[in-house]
């Protein structure tokens, strides 16, 4: 049974009509990702936003080396905003980020096993859960290394980005990195460029495009060519370097970086949101 709450949630996520959302959820047996895909295949105008569908509460925490060549980003979740602002919760988040930076574990599980004093980080979390009475967990852990790694924390500490820049040539590119971090926070690109887009995303976009084209009654011999055109548009709108730069739409992000320093570009990025 699809609830009115679920229908409304899908409507808020996509901007599609109530009845269309209900039909899509019914067809998808309540699976939100499948429902979004169904709406898109039927040509519904669906928001491209991929962020924060089941938002819980918490904060992101970052620790950057003095030379800005490496950094960690942590998302620590809890149940209420009241707890997220609690001093002990904030102190725990900072401790986890600092311990992660010192230990540089390869996985989230390895991070939780690291010792902070006599207790492991996992035990520290359990200890605070016992005090506060809310579920607390590390939902994301990112370690990044590069020529210049720049963090961007969005207002409210609900969303954080790490950007690794290359072609730095000894320059201070902190401001450029923050501008690109703000771009990533706002536009949520799927990859750095078209060459780094996951194959499954490309396949899904082509499948959706072809379904839309056939639904519009276009000749079958034109489907592949039109689908490739739609894919190119997808790359332009959803890959970081090809996106219009939010601070100056006359340039792409790639052009903006090149204007800061010839050859400056992004090697990788990660975007972490509370409730992702």
Residue 153 CA to residue 189 CA, distance in Å, equals 17
Secondary structure percentages of the chain, helix, strand, coil, to 5: 50, 20, 30
Quick check: 166 pLDDT over 80?
Answer: yes
Within a 10 A sphere around the Cβ of 274, how many other Cβ atoms? 23
Q: 163, 152 in Cβ contact below 8 A?
A: yes
What is the reported pLDDT for 73?
A: 98
Of the listed ranges 47-51, 73-77, 102-106, 143-147, the one predicted with least confidence: 47-51
pLDDT grade, residue 43 (50/70/90)? low
Stated pTM of the model: 0.76
- Would the pLDDT of 28 be above 90? yes
User: For residue 175, what are the CA distances in angstroms to 35, 87, 133, 145, 151?
Assistant: 40, 30, 41, 18, 10
Q: Is the pLDDT of residue 119 over 60?
A: yes
What is the C-alpha separation between 171 and 74, in angstroms, rounded? Answer: 27
- Structure tokens belonging to residue 39: 């709406």
End-to-end CA distance of the chain, in Å?
25
246-258 pLDDT tens trace: 999 999 999 999 9
β-pairing verdict for 248-252 and 265-273: unpaired
Six-digit token string for 197: 């887009």
| pLDDT for residue 38 | 85
Q: Where are the domains of the chain?
A: 1-47, 57-192+264-273
In the predicted model, is pLDDT for residue 263 greater than 50?
A: yes
Q: Would strands 137-145 and 70-78 be described as parallel, antiparallel, or unpaired?
A: antiparallel
Q: Which CATH superfamily is domain 1-47 in?
A: Ubiquitin-associated (UBA) domain (1.10.8.10)
Confidence of residue 99 (pLDDT cuts 50, 70, 90): very high
pLDDT in tens, 170-189: 899 999 999 999 999 999 99
Was domain 57-192+264-273 assigned CATH 3.30.479.20?
Answer: yes
Confidence of residue 276 (pLDDT cuts 50, 70, 90): low
């Amino acid at each position: 049974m699809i609830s009115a709450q679920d229908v409304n949630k899908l409507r808020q996520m996509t901007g599609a009509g109530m009845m269309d959302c209900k039909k899509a959820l019914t067809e998808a047996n309540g699976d939100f990702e499948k429902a979004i895909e169904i709406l898109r295949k039927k040509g519904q105008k669906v928001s491209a936003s991929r962020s924060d569908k089941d938002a819980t509460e918490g904060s992101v925490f970052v620790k950057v080396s003095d030379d800005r060549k490496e950094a960690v980003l942590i998302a620590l979740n809890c149940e209420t905003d009241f707890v997220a602002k609690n001093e002990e919760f904030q102190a725990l988040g900072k401790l986890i980020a600092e311990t992660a930076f010192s230990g540089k574990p390869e996985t989230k599980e390895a991070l939780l096993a690291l010792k902070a004093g006599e207790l492991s980080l996992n035990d520290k979390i359990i200890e605070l859960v016992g005090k506060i009475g809310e579920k607390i967990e590390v939902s994301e852990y990112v370690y990044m290394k590069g020529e210049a790694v720049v963090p961007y924390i969005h207002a409210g500490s609900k969303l954080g980005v790490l950007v690794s820049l290359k072609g730095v040539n000894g320059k201070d590119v902190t401001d450029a990195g923050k501008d690109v971090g703000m771009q990533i926070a706002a536009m949520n690109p799927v990859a750095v460029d078209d060459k780094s887009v996951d194959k499954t995303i490309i396949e899904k976009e082509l499948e959706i495009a072809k379904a839309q084209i056939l639904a519009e009654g276009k000749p079958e011999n034109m489907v592949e060519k039109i689908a490739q055109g739609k894919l190119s548009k997808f790359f332009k709108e959803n890959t970081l370097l090809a996106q219009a730069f939010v601070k100056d739409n006359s340039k792409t992000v790639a052009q903006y970086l090149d204007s800061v320093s010839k050859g400056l570009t992004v090697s990788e990025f990660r975007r972490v949101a509370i409730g992702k």
